[in-house]
Amino acid sequence: MDRRTFLASAVAWLIGTRLSAGPGSTELLIDEPLIPQTYPYRLPDLPYPYEALEPAIDRQTMQVHHQGHHGGYVSNLNKALEELPSFQTVYLDDLLRQLNRIPTAQRTMVRNHGGGHWNHTFFWSILSPTTQEPSANLQRRISEAFGSWTAFRGQFLDTALKLFGSGWTWLILTSDGKLQITTTPNQDNPLMPVAEAQGKPVLAIDVWEHAYYLKYQNRRVEYLSAIWQHINWQRVEALIG
Ligand SMILES: [Fe+2]
């Protein structure tokens, strides 16, 4: 363990209550963050070119979304962390899980921009330029939880369609190992204590208008149908474990 990793672990331990971790437990994220980054944060490259998701998502939307919106969250998160030296070595996952321990003066900034950085980094990673067929194993796991793959797709997309305003629709693995569809407003996510349902995110769709407005305007249903063809089901399955 290098010095930086050691310090991150030590501070995470100091600011948080260590929870017992078991199979499928989201508490494992304290030791194995999904996005193992600390301050200073940087905008990650996309794992594919901006035009890779066309025609579902056009190049301009991807570029503005990544460089403009996501880049803005990164720089504002860094500004907030400049004033919080004792939190600079804490993994982003842990900052969000321990939001209540962030001083009130910076908490909203960390919530909005830390959430924005986490959510978008995760989102890019679960999209695929090619259309993937979910494996038989993943379909079985999903069908056990939701009745059938078709029922899951319907429930997930309907939840995303009905989400009022800006936010995210998630598939999460709860601490008792169950799969659950949930939503968060703004840039909140299921790692945060403020989330209605907490758990390990395994799938997310951004339903902010900035994700689709240039091509689809107010037709969210068309955006959802199109982006569903670009989910990286291999990654979702690996996250479920
Ligand atoms: Fe977004």
Q: Which residues contact 1 (CB under 8 A, 6 or more apart)?
A: 9
Using the mean position of ligand 1's atoms as its centre, give its distance from the Cα of residue 206 in Å.
Answer: 6
Predicted pLDDT of residue 214: 96
Using the mean position of ligand 1's atoms as its centre, give its distance from the Cα of residue 130 in Å.
Answer: 21
Task: Give me the domains of the chain, ranges plus CATH numbers.
Answer: 3-37+60-125 (1.10.287.990), 136-240 (3.55.40.20)
Q: Specify burial of residue 105 (Cβ count, 10 A radius: 0-12, 13-18, 19+).
A: exposed
Encode pLDDT of 169-219 as tens digits.
Answer: 999 999 999 999 999 999 999 999 999 999 999 999 999 999 999 999 999
How close are the terminal C-alpha atoms of the chain, in Å? 25
Using the mean position of ligand 1's atoms as its centre, give its distance from the Cα of residue 68 in Å.
Answer: 10
Using the mean position of ligand 1's atoms as its centre, give its distance from the Cα of residue 137 in Å.
Answer: 30
Using the mean position of ligand 1's atoms as its centre, give its distance from the Cα of residue 31 in Å.
Answer: 27
Tell me how far apart the alpha carbons of residues 189 and 197 are, in angstroms, rounded to a whole number. 9
Helical pair 136-146 and 233-240, crossing angle rounded to 10 deg: 60
Using the mean position of ligand 1's atoms as its centre, give its distance from the Cα of residue 5 in Å.
Answer: 29
Using the mean position of ligand 1's atoms as its centre, give its distance from the Cα of residue 153 in Å.
Answer: 21
Using the mean position of ligand 1's atoms as its centre, give its distance from the Cα of residue 152 in Å.
Answer: 23
Using the mean position of ligand 1's atoms as its centre, give its distance from the Cα of residue 23 in Å.
Answer: 31
Predicted pLDDT of residue 21: 33
Predicted pLDDT of residue 31: 53
Q: How would you classify the pairing of strands 179-185 and 200-206?
A: unpaired
Using the mean position of ligand 1's atoms as its centre, give its distance from the Cα of residue 111 in Å.
Answer: 15
Using the mean position of ligand 1's atoms as its centre, give its distance from the Cα of residue 85 in Å.
Answer: 28
Using the mean position of ligand 1's atoms as its centre, give its distance from the Cα of residue 127 in Å.
Answer: 13
CA atoms within 13 A on the CB side of 198: 14
Predicted pLDDT of residue 226: 98
**Is the CB of residue 15 less than 8 Å from the CB of residue 100?**
no
Predicted pLDDT of residue 9: 45
Predicted pLDDT of residue 32: 81
Q: How confident is the chain (241 residues) per 10-residue block, as mean pLDDT?
A: 45 38 37 89 97 98 98 98 96 96 97 98 98 98 98 98 97 96 98 96 98 96 98 97 91
**Reported pTM:** 0.88
